[in-house]
Amino acid sequence: MAVAARKLRLYLTLGQRLFRDSLLFHLLLQDDIDLVGESDSGADTLQRLAAAAPGVLVIEENLRDNDGLTIAEHALNLSPTLSILLIAETQVSPGRLAIYLDAGIKAVVSKQQAMQDLLKTLYYIRNGQVYVGSWQRTDSEESGAARAFDGLSGREREVAQLIASRVCIKEIADQLGVSCKTVHSYKDRIFAKLGFERMPELILFMKRYHNGAVP
Amino acid sequence: MAVAARKLRLYLTLGQRLFRDSLLFHLLLQDDIDLVGESDSGADTLQRLAAAAPGVLVIEENLRDNDGLTIAEHALNLSPTLSILLIAETQVSPGRLAIYLDAGIKAVVSKQQAMQDLLKTLYYIRNGQVYVGSWQRTDSEESGAARAFDGLSGREREVAQLIASRVCIKEIADQLGVSCKTVHSYKDRIFAKLGFERMPELILFMKRYHNGAVP
DNA sequence: GAGAGGTGTAGGATCTTCCTACAAGGCGTC
DNA sequence: GACGCCTTGTAGGAAGATCCTACACCTCTC
């Protein structure tokens, strides 16, 4: 293996505490993400940025004291190697995206996008790469997600459905008449096929695209 | 034991997909929460509420098609036993809280409150109880959280700090010269004392109130 | 001074996660 | 049509996490 992937030093600026908490909780489940700071305002961010020395700054577009773009530009002045991910209010148009990229922002994710988009983008830009493309999805992605279900085998679907209904592994094993080990194998394969890492992702996926209830 | 606590049937209405995902992810980690529906608009919510038959509706105050209060009132007309938790934009004043409670809403949590407040409130109202008090905290709560650290014993603090720095259990055990089992015991006690259930909560707590870095 | 409660330490049961294995069948290509 | 590769159903093992229990000390309180 080439590079021993270092931890991602993350700084998050988001005005609303509830969502900041919730996003951070999610992000901190990834054990290669190291939180080095957080703020609810732009001024605060700029003030603490140097000391925190993050690798990636995730910042909201509309902060109460300033707009994220301005803050981002200041931040880039302070530390030019910083990767910035802007969280936009709405889907950004190509024109606006170009402005953002010109300003040195590495990626833009809108509040209408899925959490997984944010995560993927975050990992993508961690090494300084620019990530475009996130704005041009929405529908195709969604149906793609739904279609991913078709890639599961019969047993895998059964297990996915039972798991989404919160039936525990032991019970699933009993119901299907196989060993727990086997059920775990199915679960692992489902996760691998769908690219999930944790239960809530699978549950959410099943609820959304396959109605959760066993048909 | 008296009542076998049934699963909490949750419906979440929140306009922004990113935050909805993120909140749901968090909520679905609790294995007694069953997601029965979600929407990004009020109209959609009302339309699907009857079929979903949730026990608790968590709904945002400012939806793009209507305000949450209006939707909540309609929802209560449809199913009077529904418990509604309103997510307000900002800290609500006692006056506004009274209006909400009059309308039959069981609790209000603002977007400036901590995620844990939402969770606690959710569990509180699940049985139809009204939950007031959430609006009257902020500062005292925060310093209370910080003070909770003082309740930890010496070993517990060491372990908390190491865990927050993402040192793995095995390494912590080596560093302290005790067995992994012992480190797990410390971790369990820390969680019990601080009321946490998962790593990210502890990490966030340490980063926020104790700087994460070992002093 | 006896019991209550906190602290440092650890064991066992059970569950998860991750990795590996392997037989049976399908599909592809030469 | 035979050989090889991929998928599917099945499961085992190792390592780690969670939950519960234990137990020797120490200190505080009645």
Give the span between the Cα atoms of A8 and B128, in whole angstroms: 43
Q: How far apart are CA B215 and CA B211, in angstroms?
A: 8
Q: If you search the block for the tokens 């865990």, which residue do you land on?
A: B163
CA B191 to CA B185: how far, in whole Å? 10
**Domain B147-210 falls under CATH 3.50.50.60:** no
User: Residue A34 corresponds to which tokens in the numbers above?
Assistant: 């190291």
Q: How long a stretch of residues is chain A?
A: 215
Q: Map out the domains of chain A as residue ranges.
A: 8-137, 143-210
Contact B76, B84 (CB under 8 A): yes
Residues B7, B34 contacting (CB under 8 angstroms):
yes
What confidence score (pLDDT) does residue A210 get? Answer: 77
Interface check A17 vs B, CB under 8 A: yes
User: Tell me: the pLDDT tens digits for B19-59?
Assistant: 999 999 999 999 899 999 999 999 999 999 999 999 999 99
Q: Which nt is closest to the CA of A155, judged by C1'?
A: D9
Percent of chain B whose pLDDT exceeds 90: 72
Of A35-39, A211-215, B135-139, the poorest mean pLDDT is in: A211-215
Is residue B33 classed as helix, strand or coil in its secondary structure?
Answer: strand
Comparison of pLDDT for A110 and A215, the residue scoring more:
A110
pLDDT at residue B215, rounded to an integer: 34
pLDDT at A66: 83
The CATH fold of domain A8-137: Rossmann fold (3.40.50)
CA distance B162 to B180: 14
The integer distance in angstroms from the CA atom of B102 to the C1' atom of C14 is: 48
> Which of the nucleotides in strand D have any atom less than 7 Å away from a protein CB atom?
7-13, 16-22
CA-nearest of B55, B51, B46, B57 to B12 is B57
Mean confidence (pLDDT) of chain A? 88
Domain B8-140 has CATH 1.10.3720.10: no
CA distances from A187 to A97, A162, A181, A192 (A): 39, 11, 10, 9
Q: Name the residue among B18, B22, B41 with its Cα closest to residue A109.
A: B18
Percentage, residues of chain B above pLDDT 70: 89
> Which residues of chain B lie closer than 8 angstroms to A87, CB-CB?
18
Flag whether residue B199 sits within 8 Å of chain A, measured between CB atoms.
yes
User: According to the model, what pLDDT value does residue A143 have?
Assistant: 60
Q: What is the pLDDT of residue A4?
A: 45
pLDDT at res. A68: 87
Model pLDDT, residue B139? 54
The answer to whether the beta carbons of residues B159 and B172 sit under 8 Å apart is: yes
Judge whether B15 and B64 are in contact, CB under 8 Å: yes
Separation in Å, CA A112 to CA A139, A202, B76, B124: 12, 20, 28, 30
Instruction: State whether residue B62 sits within 8 Å of chain A by CB.
Output: no
For B95, the enclosing helix (H) or strand (E) is helix B94-102
Using the Cα atoms of residue B98, residue B103, residue B109 and residue B110 in order, give the sign of their dihedral. Answer: negative
Residue A23: what pLDDT?
A: 97
Residue pLDDT, tens place only, B168-194: 999 999 999 999 999 999 999 999 999
Residue B71 pLDDT > 80, yes or no? yes
Residue B5 has pLDDT above 70, yes or no: no
**Virtual CA dihedral for B58, A201, A97, A81, nearest 10 degrees?**
110
Q: From chain A, pick out residues whose CB is under 8 angstroms from the CB of B207.
A: 35, 38
Does residue A179 register a pLDDT over 60? yes
Per-residue pLDDT of A29-60, as tens digits, reads 998 999 999 999 999 999 999 999 999 999 99
Non-local CB neighbours of B102 within 8 Å, separated by 6+ positions? none
Calculate mean pLDDT across residues B204-212. Answer: 83
Determine the distance in angstroms separating the CA of A110 from the nearest CA of chain B, rounded to an integer.
8
Confidence category of residue A84, pLDDT binned at 50, 70, 90? very high
> C-alpha distances in angstroms, A200 versus A160, A196, B6, B35?
12, 9, 19, 10
Domain A143-210, CATH 1.10.10.10 — does that match? yes
Q: What is the pLDDT of residues A103-143, one digit of tens each?
A: 999 999 999 999 999 998 998 898 777 777 644 555 555 56
HEC sequence for A52-78: HCCCEEEEECECCCCEHHHHHHHHHHH
Q: What three-state secondary structure class fits A8?
A: strand
Residue A56 pairs in a beta bridge with: A10, A83
> Region B14-19: what's the mean pLDDT?
96
A3 pLDDT above the threshold of 50: no
Q: Is A115 on the interface with B (CB under 8 A)?
A: yes
If pLDDT is split at 50, 70 and 90, which confidence band does A215 have? Answer: very low
